[in-house]
Structure 1
Amino acid sequence: MNGIFDLYNRKVGLWANEFQLQPRALFRRSHIDVKVVPTGSSLDLFLLGGVDATSAMTYNEYHRLYTYGIDFKDLTVFHFADIGLDFPEDGLYALEETARRQPELCRKVVEATMEGWAYAFKHKDEALQYVQKEMESAHIPFALSHQRWMLDEIEKLFEFRDGSLSIELREADYDFTVRALRENGFIRTSPAYADFRKEVLQ
């Protein structure tokens, strides 16, 4: 498999949640018919040949395939950021009423979140020790190399401005994502950027 159009009429594993939006937008935009197979977090179906392609995050499943013995050079990867479908994803959200009635609470949550990430990036060994403790307490298998890979990859998603950690939803990114979702029939209406994003760190 070398290009997007090689996916035509192939079985593609997609997560059964909002993370389907980008691949489905890609298929519609490119007029590619695929056989969608709902998958969970397991990569077993892909590893066993049950699907020809599957959803993966670079910070998680992509590296897990490597730990399972698949060399990166043997994988064909379609990065949405490289093919015009770079959607912003995880964020901090609050009800409009909460933001209006408790702005100080919202500000503190944002500040604490950013401070926590900044500390984790500067003290990775310590952060990973806490992750290991929590995972083992919850009886979840812990692999240090994989957790370190994830932390390193997540760090790439943040920006540093004047020595401080910064991340924000830019208006251009918001408008682009809204337009793509509307053009592909996923949504019909959307709030204006100024109504969707409120500045709390002032």
Structure 2
Amino acid sequence: MYDKILFHKGFILLKLLFILFYSTLLLASSQKISVQLEWKHQFEFAGFYAAIEKGYYKDIGLEVELREYTQGIDISDEVISKRATFGVSSSSLILDKLQNKPVVLIASYFKQNALALAVKPEITNVEQLRGKKIMALSYEIDHTSIGVLLKEGGLKDEDYTFIDHDFSIDAFKAGDVDAMSIFISNQPYFLDKEGVKYNILNPADFGIYSYDLELFTSEEFARKNSDMIEKFAKATNRGWEYAFKHKKEIIDLIYDKYTKTKSKESLLYEAEVTQKLFKTNIFKIGATVPELIKLNAQMYTSLGLVQDGFEFSKLLSSYIFENLKYSENRDFQDKNIIQNNIADLTYEEKDYLKEKKIITACIDPDWMPFESLQEGKHIGLSADYLDIFQKNLSVAIKVVKTDSWMDSLEFAKMRKCDILPLVMETNERKEYLDFTSPYLKIPVVLATRPNVAFIADFDNLDNKKIGIPEG
């Protein structure tokens, strides 16, 4: 009996030693990386804290160090020079790219910039700031949406008195300045707590769009470590999902482990506003949206920091991580998939095509860049795909001339054409058409006039007129 007890204790001890050895081995094999933050510790970086605390980074073999911002640091240079593995930047990251810095965007979190102007309650528009005192950072005037707001409001530098920001609400509270730059996730809490009356001039409300909280790395690191970056981004996004579902837990973590600069109450206010700025009801966490990037690039053009006329699609090919990762083999893969699918035909299908000899197609004659008929010639994306189909089928495809998309649908109903190369499946159309699996996915977006504010929520469309193609 005594021997059995000794054996049992020895087995437990051996098991504990094995667990300790295995844990030490895992720790030793973890890859150490660093993330340079764009500001001090606060809920703005909650996803990173959660991913560390819940072991999401550890699960993929990463030991992550978060570095607070210190005065004078250029975040892009920190990453490009390899002093930091990753960086978290503001909307100015696209400006760095436009100025030929080798930065690569991995994930984009704030879908609306938190930067705005708090103004005295009697001020309701930009013109009323003429002759007033504005407290801000010079960088904000020269490089952000606030600068565009003032410029498009007709104000030049000499039209107002610039006061360098002291990072306090005291001057605004005392009435020494008429406006001050704020982050809507931060200062309104303190203004409300002090009972200060104010209005907010938010660039987004004036159709001036920019974003914030951009996770990035250097182009060199991205090309050499694509698998690790993909896992790191997924772990970070997972951290954000957890942080939003467990705000109070992460706020306790920030307060107890990282900083006591802000109260838990103010951190909760920041957390609620931050989640709204992520716009998770529209975008996936971390999604990179080319249309939003383009709006931001246009902002810097408006500020005169870059020349207009840059080739945007070429810019995105090396700026967005997913584009960089797949750019070299995407075209080959797409064509190869199509060719393999066409080659996999039954004998009956091949005999049918042999007897058919010519396939007739109806298109939308005026839908560029997707498809069009110009001087009797079929052009656009569908023309390129039909060329690929013809080469692999060894059967000619002839486009039947129609005057409109509605005519093309009628021709299809009357069997005057065999196929519609670009048509969306609907219940009505399924009554007279069979549909393949999609070979081209095209996002549907809302287009507005330049002076219309960015529409990030369908609630903003109340009482608006929307035009859509007939059919």
TM category (shorter chain) comes to 0.7 to 0.9
1:130 paired with 2:253, answer: yes
- Runs of 4+ residues deviating >6 angstroms: none
Structure with bigger RCO (C-alpha 8 Å, 6+ apart) = 1
Does the Cα contact within 8 Å between 1:11 and 1:34 map onto a contact in 2?
yes
Does the Cα contact within 8 Å between 1:159 and 1:167 map onto a contact in 2?
no
Query: 2:224 is aligned with what amino acid?
Result: R
Name the SS for the 2:307 alignment partner. coil
Counterpart CA distance in 2 for 1:143 and 1:155 is 18
1:31 match = 154
Shift, 1:48, TM fit: 2.4
One of 199, 210, 224 as aligned partner of 1:87: 210
How many matched pairs? 195
Q: Which moved more, 1:98-107 or 1:165-174?
A: 165-174
Counterpart CA distance in 2 for 1:143 and 1:169 is 32
2:289 match = 170
State the TM-score, normalizing by the size of structure 1: 0.85
Q: Which moved more, 1:93-102 or 1:33-42?
A: 33-42
- Alignment map for 1:115-194 (pairs within 5 Å): 115-135=238-258, 138=259, 140-160=260-280, 165-188=284-307, 192-194=315-317
2:351 match = none
1:52 match = 178
1:113 match = 236
Counterpart CA distance in 2 for 1:98 and 1:87 is 26
1:75 match = 198
For structure 2, the residue ranges without an aligned partner over 5 or more in a row are: 1-122, 327-471
For structure 1, the residue ranges without an aligned partner over 5 or more in a row are: none
Counterpart CA distance in 1 for 2:150 and 2:301 is 15
Change (3 A) 1:165 1:181: closer
Shift, 1:165, TM fit: 4.8
Higher share of residues assigned strand: 2
1:5 paired with 2:127, answer: yes
Counterpart CA distance in 1 for 2:173 and 2:285 is 37
Counterpart CA distance in 1 for 2:284 and 2:297 is 26
1:16-44 per-position Cα deviation (integer Å, ceiling 9, x unaligned): 43575211111122221222212142222
1:15 paired with 2:137, answer: yes
1:118-176 per-position Cα deviation (integer Å, ceiling 9, x unaligned): 111111121111011024xx5x33412211010111111224479x9523231111111
RMSD: 2.5
Does the Cα contact within 8 Å between 1:14 and 1:39 map onto a contact in 2?
yes
Aligned identity (percent) is 21
Query: 2:188 is aligned with what amino acid?
Result: Y
Name the SS for the 2:128 alignment partner. helix
Name the SS for the 2:182 alignment partner. coil
1:83-114 per-position Cα deviation (integer Å, ceiling 9, x unaligned): 11120122101100010011122112211211
Does the Cα contact within 8 Å between 2:124 and 2:201 map onto a contact in 1?
no
Change (3 A) 1:165 1:178: closer
Name the SS for the 1:91 alignment partner. strand
Shift, 1:188, TM fit: 3.4
Does the Cα contact within 8 Å between 1:15 and 1:39 map onto a contact in 2?
yes
State the TM-score, normalizing by the size of structure 2: 0.38
Name the SS for the 2:212 alignment partner. coil
1:48-78 per-position Cα deviation (integer Å, ceiling 9, x unaligned): 22211001111101212112222xxx31111
Which is greater in Rg? Answer: 2
2:31 match = none
